[in-house]
Amino acid sequence: MSGRVHVIALAARTPVGFSAEATAAAVRAGISRLALHPFMVDDTGEKLHAAFDPSLERPCFGCDRMIALASAALDELIAKLTKNVAWPSPIPVLLAAPEARPGFGDQDAQRLVTRLRASLPNAAAKLDVQLVGRGHAGGLHALQLAMQRMSPGNDLFVVGGVDSYLEADTIDWLASNRQLSSSEVRSGFVPGEGAGFIALGTEGALRQLRLTSLAVVRGAGTAKESKLIKTDAINLGEGLAAAIQSASHGLRLPDEAVDTVYCDINGERYRSEEWGFALLRGGQREVKSSGYVAPADCWGDVGAASGPLLCLLAVRSWARRYAAGPRALVCAGSESGLRGAVVLESP
């Protein structure tokens, strides 16, 4: 795609906020929704430590929770996109879902897509939901694909992700792999849930919708990491470094090095060590500081929703004027090896 790609609208549903604005404000304020679940337990029989949406009715688990979270966020996004005018043609929605795991398989992923296509039949804009990515980096991969697919007459896309670990089989699986944060596991994470969506478009789409740009996408990149978590291989940050370098290709370095990093580090040593090695492999050229914003202590690990929700935090930091500078890097990594990175810039 030649020409600028803009962030046009944002939407979110998370344990800390029922909208994009509320979610970003809560994370900025350091509000945490990590709590003991009222009835789910971990492998020791203790109440599960998790971040969850308290408004979803019981019994609602796994895929059903994801459908509810994503539908609420898409409602918000459509309302923002069609605030001034209606969009005449179907809008492609490039969706990231969880990777296959106990409690969520490939059939669940297809059911998620089918239910989302049918959940908004009377909406002001018709959505064409397509599954294009899996895991933490899936949403950033979807963003890269949207940029590649943009063309005259096809200049508005929605990218997003949704996830929820609140399913008994999934919790048991995390515990068996010693990934579940508990008194007996030091390098585990707190399971969370959430949905995030971003509308991307050209300047023509902005004019047609009569909206203003929230941010500019300077670059997006993906790569594959072969040294995976849950194996004996030592991850030296090769895949993440390659994704960051690809996303930063258009920056005039060092003058345009990114000011803030938003990432999916969640308490697992594997992820934090990978970030350190990625910096040593050249990331120091792209970023001004080795520090990062990792909101897993607010909303838990949000899995496939990570990329869009992290982008949301970057964009809202410019809207509320507390950003450290005009450029931000968002990066995430899926357990299967996909690594994604996006560079955003204040409009």
Of 209, 240, 268, at which residue does a domain stop? 209
Q: Which of these three, 155, 178, 209, is where a domain ends? A: 209
Query: Residues 170, 228: one domain?
Result: no
**Backbone φ, ψ for residue 86 (5° rounding):** -90, 150
Residues 237, 197 share a domain: no
Mean model confidence pLDDT for the chain: 93
Question: Do residues 36 and 129 share a domain?
Answer: yes
- Over residues 314-341, the pLDDT tens digits come to 999 999 999 999 999 999 999 999 999 9
Residue 208, classed as helix, strand or coil, is: helix
Q: Which residues pair with 96 in a beta bridge?
A: 133, 161
Query: What is the spatial distance between Cα 51 and Cα 48, in angstroms, rounded to a whole number?
Result: 10
* d(C-alpha 339, C-alpha 347), whole Å: 26
Cβ atoms within 10 A of the Cβ of 208, count? 16
Asked if pLDDT for residue 122 goes beyond 70, the answer is no
Residue scoring higher pLDDT (212 or 283): 212
**What is the domain count for the chain?**
2
Each residue's pLDDT tens digit, 171-230 = 999 999 999 988 788 889 999 999 999 999 999 999 999 999 999 999 999 999 999 999
Residues 55 and 202 in one domain: yes
Q: Give residue for tokens 């949207």.
A: 146
pLDDT of residue 182: 82
Kindly give the residue spans of alpha helices, DSSP state H, lying in 98-230: 106-119, 138-149, 168-176, 203-209
Instruction: Classify 20 as helix, strand or coil.
Output: helix
Length of the chain: 347
CATH of the domain at 182: 3.40.47.10
Same domain assignment for residues 76 and 195: yes
Distance CA(193)–CA(64), nearest Å, equals 12
Whether residue 132 is found in the same domain as residue 198: yes
What pLDDT is attached to residue 21? Answer: 98
Beta bridge partners of 101: 104
- Show the domain range for 241: 218-345
Of the residues 155, 181, 209, the one at which a domain ends: 209
Give the whole-angstrom CA distance, residue 114 versus residue 108.
10
- 278 and 335 inside one domain: yes
Per-residue model confidence (pLDDT) at position 2: 60
Residues 20 and 90 in one domain: yes
One domain for residues 118 and 136: yes
Considering the domain architecture, whether residues 51 and 177 belong to the same structural domain is answered as yes
205: its two tokens:
């789409």
Token reading at 64: 């059903």
Per-residue pLDDT, 285: 80
DSSP SS3 for 16? coil
- Looking at the DSSP assignment, which residues form a beta bridge with residue 338? 224
Antiparallel, parallel or unpaired: β 156-164 and 91-97: parallel
pLDDT of residue 338: 98
Using alpha carbons, select from 14, 5, 27 the residue that is nearest to residue 262.
27
What CA–CA distance (Å, rounded) separates 74 from 69? 9
Residues 183 and 119 in one domain: yes
Between 285 and 150, the higher pLDDT residue: 150
Q: Are residue 9 and residue 69 in the same domain, yes or no?
A: yes
pLDDT for res 283: 61
Alpha helices in 82-202 (DSSP H): 106-119, 138-149, 168-176
